[in-house]
Amino acid sequence: MTNYHTATVAELSHALHSKKVSSVELTRHFLDRIAAHDRRLNSFITVTTEQALAAAAEADRRIAAGQAGPLTGIPLAQKDIFCTEGVRTSCASRMLDNFIAPYDATTVQRLNAAGMVMLGKTNMDEFAMGSSNETSYYGPVRNPWDLDRVPGGSSGGSAAAVAARLAPIATGTDTGGSIRQPAALCGLTGLKPTYGLVSRYGMIAFASSLDQAGPIAQSAEDAALLLQALAGFDPRDSTSLDRHLPDYRAALDNSDNTSPLVGVRIGVPQEYFGDGLSKGVHDAIAAAIAAYRKLGAETVDITLPNTRYAVPAYYVVAPAECSSNLSRFDGVRFGHRCQDAVDLMDLYKRSRGEGFGAEVKRRIMVGTYVLSAGYYDAYYLQAQKVRRLISDDFRRVFDGQQVDVILGPTAPTTAFRLNDKTSDPLAMYLSDIYTIAVNLAGLPALSMPVRPVEGLPVGLQLIGNYFSEAQLLNVAHQYQRVTTWHRQIPQAYAK
């Protein structure tokens, strides 16, 4: 194996443990690819070359001593929203351009403990606010499948890096679709876990009741491997859930059964196939549904009537929480501070005005408005009631109709062109129309690539009941066993 970047994490793990390659060799290979290709993609904010090579050397020692796990020595990219001790953690904002984190997020700690090698921190929408990775202080990320198109957001840097095989796997965060939507637009497998399954400690908060970390990977098997390391109770996160974890990789059925999904009921919501869904995406999803029937699954027509309220409810709840969370960035304790402030109020105003970009300011203003005394009941309280109705829709389908998985498109179109929607925030917000409801309900969901349209990736979304990640991953894995869409690499980055 010489083209290491064409291999999955599972394949690289086997190569490392069988001594066909060292972690240092693997790490140098991916660092060289970053140096060769990322100038065009802009997927990384910080590349941690020295730390990566030191971690790789330590991983090789662990492998030689027989103390390695399945992820030991595997390079990865971390989204620049996770605090990383001694490394700039910017959230792609001028506000934190000079912030060196004094500690590791739990996500970083756990992957370090697993022996993984961090290549660097990836670009993103500023403070995770965006659907195209165009709000970054460091400039937009470009989609490896077409450099004139967006990679999706907010985890666009992570998705672009994995799609171009500058890293074999990456972390992302998902507040309203920010793992799944870029995974869809870049032809990857992205998993948003059940809320509370992965610790949020050290993950810089956007909307605390919605944010969740997860893997952006080439395959469901790779996502299962990373989730195994990420998931688990953390006493430092008050929303972290203490429960038994399954072996996610072992739950993947690799038997020779030609109908491995017999008995699995897949719900197909009528609301996900109406106006706004492009014909090409519709047809690609329909072909995938037919493939699932061949694998033995039963499809069931369902309805999620409150889906149409998901976007307006989200854009009340998320900005409200953003307004509260971002109030800590005041130019006093850390982050950007304006020059020559005349008094404390001037320091606050100019530091925040200079430090935040337009989209972040827009959401802070909306959030402050809906939380204000005269409008709290009319907006924020109503949005929380709608949130409950959306959750009840899912509960009725999963529990009442005994559906195991819900299937639909991840995004209504393939990747759109850069600057197409930057002047129309509402059009941009509708990019997440199929993903937002999942975050409002706290459910797990996965996006994986299906048949492309005009050379651009299409994502299929699978939504599961609470803590059904093992089943979701297996349902995706069975499709990937009989297709090769997840193995496709943009031609410019294949060699």
Residues tagged active-site: 79, 154, 178
DSSP 8-class letter at 63: H
Choose among 386, 385, 371, 415: nearest CA to 307: 386
**Whole-angstrom distance, CA of residue 466 vs CA of residue 438:** 11
DSSP 8-class letter at 328: G
Residues in CB range of 424: below 8 A, 6 or more apart? none
Please count the other Cβ atoms lying within 10 Å of the Cβ belonging to residue 358: 11
338 three-class SS: coil
Residue appearing with tokens 């976007």: 311
Residues in CB range of 26: below 8 A, 6 or more apart? 4, 12, 16, 56, 73, 74, 75, 117
Q: Give the phi and the psi of residue 228 in degrees, each rounded to 5.
A: -60, -35
Buried b / exposed e along 46-76 (16+ C-beta atoms within 10 A) = bbbeebbbebbebbbeebeeeebbbbbbbbb
Residue 484 burial (C-beta neighbours within 10 Å; 0-12, 13-18, 19+): exposed
- Residue 409 tokens read as 């498109």
Q: Give the phi and the psi of residue 309 in degrees, each rounded to 5.
A: -95, 0
Contact indicator for 472, 445 with CB cutoff of 8 Å: yes
